[in-house]
């Protein structure tokens, strides 16, 4: 694997690779894998106690695809799926891909208002849903919003007689119709809509093609060195790219097994699945790995089968990464960076990278992709080592936001560069370090402060389990730094004075947090991303900064 950079030391890199891009649809690729590795295990749903070989999974996928065709669902129709991780989610993912129906992923954490928005905005014709999940009564919410969703013709609840009938295909289309449906599909056809969680307003539907997500899953798996012998534990949600692309598609494009440890993340269930199923790879966002490492029973699980995995989804603390390598036997663990709009991965660390590179960067540009760091104001590519906005171009960039051309144009420029909104630095070797979000950057008295830098320092404190730095309003400086911390069990809570003492001499004084707030948990999305906007809002009330928040600054 090699990358090339522009002359003159500009922060640009393109990824070459000895294997070409795949030209298949998802269905064609899946069928090819099933033909090669039919007797190998393909899917294990631990909670349900069910497992499939590739031959069995292919038969059930085809049965469901024929059942959907029998319901009148076909190329271009939107099929929503609203459920936690389960085998039926995976079956629906591949069955819709085989007939060209566009799968609309619906966040399991959504309430009725959000559900209604997605169903209406995407024009969902058929909704496949769990009856309930945790404390949410999905069936009742669907009944509540259905009158406001004129396109929604059918709802099928998992576990119902109707699901059994459709999935069994007794009344579905004949096999010839399924073959014809697959033959009519193009690789650039839209096949998936994923709603990104915006900080303001309603989310936008990133529209992804067969070519987008099949290739991204495949090359993520290539850099993890997956073969048919691998078994991937997937505790991250399927509704997000991390689960259905980096997990499922990486597996099926290599003949590896998908292992679902539980419907939703549970640290003990995850480690038990790894041990019992002898998983070779484990996925998670940093908060998941932190929870697993902190389990009092951590030492009871035999994790020696692990060799690799992926930590991604939010900035990966260096200290946590080191523990994952040392205590979880994940010597080849990879950090990946990306976003839903880029299918998702743009950069990834490699197995042969030095341990320092693998714990302190998000790696280099992925195969057949381009990345660059630009000045957000001028659009010019920055010199190596200078921070700017990270942009991505190539096969992975989404088709656009569903039926929102104006918002698409704001994100993807005329040259097809996707502007991520993330601040990053690239070194002369092409390695990228994410320093924060453009919107997360704190400006204190004219000084730019990147929360990630301060967080990494606090992670080295022996009593700190997790730390998140935000900016809060300040009358004098415009913004001040505040840190929310989770303490290790038995540790005394940090104070502003003890944080100041720890940081002094290690970073500039203006980077030392003025306020400290000790918590048990951070507010976060279902994918494990920290909701810093919500933290800032709560902090204003906690600190009594309402007057400062109302003050306007240029």
Q: What is the pLDDT of residues 158-188, one digit of tens each?
A: 999 999 999 997 778 899 999 999 999 999 9
pLDDT band (50, 70, 90) for residue 271: very high
For residue 41, the cross-strand partners are 53
Domains of the chain: 23-364 (3.40.50.12780), 442-550 (3.30.300.30)
200 pLDDT more than 50: no
> How confident is the prediction for the chain on average, in pLDDT?
93
Mean pLDDT across 60-72: 96
Through-space distance between the first and last CA atoms of the chain, rounded to whole angstroms:
47
pLDDT of residue 370 exceeding 50, the answer is yes
| pLDDT for position 553 | 40
pLDDT at residue 453 in the model: 82
Per-residue model confidence as pLDDT tens digits over 302-354: 999 999 999 987 767 788 888 999 999 999 999 999 999 999 999 999 999 98
Q: What is the mean pLDDT of residues 471-498?
A: 92
pLDDT digits (tens, 9 = 90+) for 103-116: 999 989 888 888 99
Query: What per-residue confidence (pLDDT) applies to 113?
Result: 85
Bridge partners, residue 338, by sequence: 345
Retrieve residue 181's tokens.
């449906």
3-state helix, strand, coil in the chain (%, to 5): 35, 25, 40
- Residue 283: left (phi > 0), alpha (psi -120 to 50), or beta? beta
Whether the CB-CB separation of 506 and 457 falls below 8 Å is answered with: yes
Alpha helix (H) residue ranges in 364-459:
405-411, 451-458
Task: Compute φ and ψ for 516, nearest 5 degrees.
Answer: -130, 135
Among candidate residues 370, 330, 321, 326, the one with its CA nearest the CA of residue 351: 330
What pLDDT was estimated at residue 2? 44
Rounded mean pLDDT of 204-225? 98
Q: Compare 357 and 270 and report the one with higher pLDDT.
A: 270
| Prediction pTM value | 0.86
Inform me whether the pLDDT recorded for 488 exceeds 90. yes
H/E run at residue 26: helix 26-36
Q: Which ranges of 449-510 would DSSP assign to H, the alpha helix?
A: 451-458, 496-503
Cα separation, 85 vs 234, in Å, equals 9
pLDDT digits (tens, 9 = 90+) for 21-44: 999 999 999 999 999 999 999 999
Structure tokens at 199: 């900080």
Say which DSSP state 281 is in. E
**Please, which pLDDT band fits residue 197 given cuts at 50, 70 and 90?**
low
Round to whole Å and give the CA distance between 369 and 420: 14
Integer Cα distance of 411 and 322 in angstroms: 35
How far is residue 485's CA from residue 109's CA, in Å, rounded to a whole number?
25
Q: What secondary structure letter does DSSP report for 396?
A: T
Report the distance separating Cα 209 and Cα 195, nearest Å: 15
Q: How many CB atoms lie within 10 A of CB 157?
A: 18
Closest CA to 350 of 431, 233, 241, 282: 431
Question: Is residue 144 very low, low, confident or very high in pLDDT (cuts 50, 70, 90)?
Answer: very high
Rg over CA atoms, the chain: 23
Confidence band (pLDDT; 50, 70, 90) for 286?
A: confident
Over residues 489-508, the mean pLDDT reads 91
pLDDT at residue 383 in the model: 96
Helix, coil or strand: residue 298: helix
State pLDDT tens for residues 417-463: 999 998 899 999 999 998 877 778 787 876 778 788 899 899 999 99
Q: Which of 14, 34, 364, 317 is nearest to 223 (CA)?
A: 364
Q: pLDDT confidence of 550, banded at 50, 70, 90?
A: confident
Percent of the chain with pLDDT over 70: 96
């Amino acid at each position: 694997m090699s990358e090339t950079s522009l002359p003159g030391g500009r922060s640009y890199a393109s990824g070459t690779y000895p294997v070409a891009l795949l030209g298949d649809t998802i269905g064609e690729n899946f069928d090819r894998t099933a033909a090669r590795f039919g007797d190998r295990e393909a899917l294990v749903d631990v909670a349900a106690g069910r497992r499939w070989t590739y031959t069995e999974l292919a038969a059930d996928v085809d049965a469901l695809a024929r059942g959907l065709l029998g319901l009148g669902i076909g190329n271009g129709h939107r099929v929503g799926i609203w459920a936690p991780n389960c085998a039926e989610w995976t079956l629906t993912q591949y069955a819709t891909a085989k007939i060209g129906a566009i799968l609309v992923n619906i966040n399991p954490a959504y309430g009725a208002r959000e559900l209604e928005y997605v169903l209406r905005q995407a024009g969902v014709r058929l909704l496949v849903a769990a009856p309930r999940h945790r404390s949410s009564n999905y069936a009742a919410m669907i009944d509540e919003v259905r009158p406001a969703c004129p396109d929604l013709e059918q709802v099928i609840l998992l576990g119902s007689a109707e699901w059994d009938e459709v999935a069994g295909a007794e009344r579905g289309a004949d096999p010839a119709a399924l073959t014809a449906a697959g033959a009519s599909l193009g690789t650039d056809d839209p096949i998936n809509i994923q709603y990104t969680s915006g900080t303001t307003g309603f989310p936008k539907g990133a529209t992804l093609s067969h070519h987008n997500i099949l290739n991204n899953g495949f090359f993520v798996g290539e850099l993890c060195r997956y073969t048919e012998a691998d078994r991937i534990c997937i505790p991250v949600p399927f509704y997000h790219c991390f689960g259905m692309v980096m997990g499922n598609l990486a597996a099926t494009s290599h003949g590896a097994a998908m292992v679902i440890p539980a419907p939703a993340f549970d640290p003990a269930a995850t480690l038990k699945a790894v041990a019992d199923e002898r998983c070779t790879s484990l996925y998670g966002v940093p908060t998941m790995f932190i929870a697993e490492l902190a389990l009092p029973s951590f030492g009871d699980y035999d994790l020696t089968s692990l060799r690799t995995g992926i930590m991604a989804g939010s900035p990966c603390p260096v200290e946590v990464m080191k523990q994952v390598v040392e205590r979880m036997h994940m010597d080849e663990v990879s950090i990946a960076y990306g976003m839903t709009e880029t299918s998702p991965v743009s950069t990834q660390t490699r197995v042969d990278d030095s341990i320092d590179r693998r714990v302190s960067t998000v790696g280099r540009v992925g195969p057949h992709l381009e990345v660059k760091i630009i000045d957000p104001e001028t659009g010019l590519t920055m010199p190596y080592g200078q921070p700017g906005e990270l942009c991505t171009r190539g096969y992975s960039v989404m088709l656009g936001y569903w039926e929102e051309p104006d918002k698409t144009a704001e994100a993807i420029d005329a040259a097809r560069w996707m502007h991520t909104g993330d601040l990053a630095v690239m070194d002369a070797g092409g390695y990228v370090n994410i320093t924060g979000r453009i919107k997360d950057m704190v400006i204190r008295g004219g000084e730019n402060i990147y929360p990630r830098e301060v967080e990494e320092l606090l992670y080295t404190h022996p009593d700190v389990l997790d730390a998140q730095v935000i900016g809060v309003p300040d009358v004098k400086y415009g913004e001040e730094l505040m840190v929310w911390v989770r303490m290790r069990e038995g540790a005394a809570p940090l104070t502003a004075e003890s944080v100041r003492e720890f940081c002094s001499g290690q970073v500039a004084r203006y980077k030392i947090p003025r306020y400290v707030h000790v918590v048990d948990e951070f507010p976060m999305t279902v994918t494990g991303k920290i909701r810093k906007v919500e933290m800032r809002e709560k902090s204003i009330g906690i600190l009594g900064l309402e007057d400062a928040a109302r003050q306007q600054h240029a």
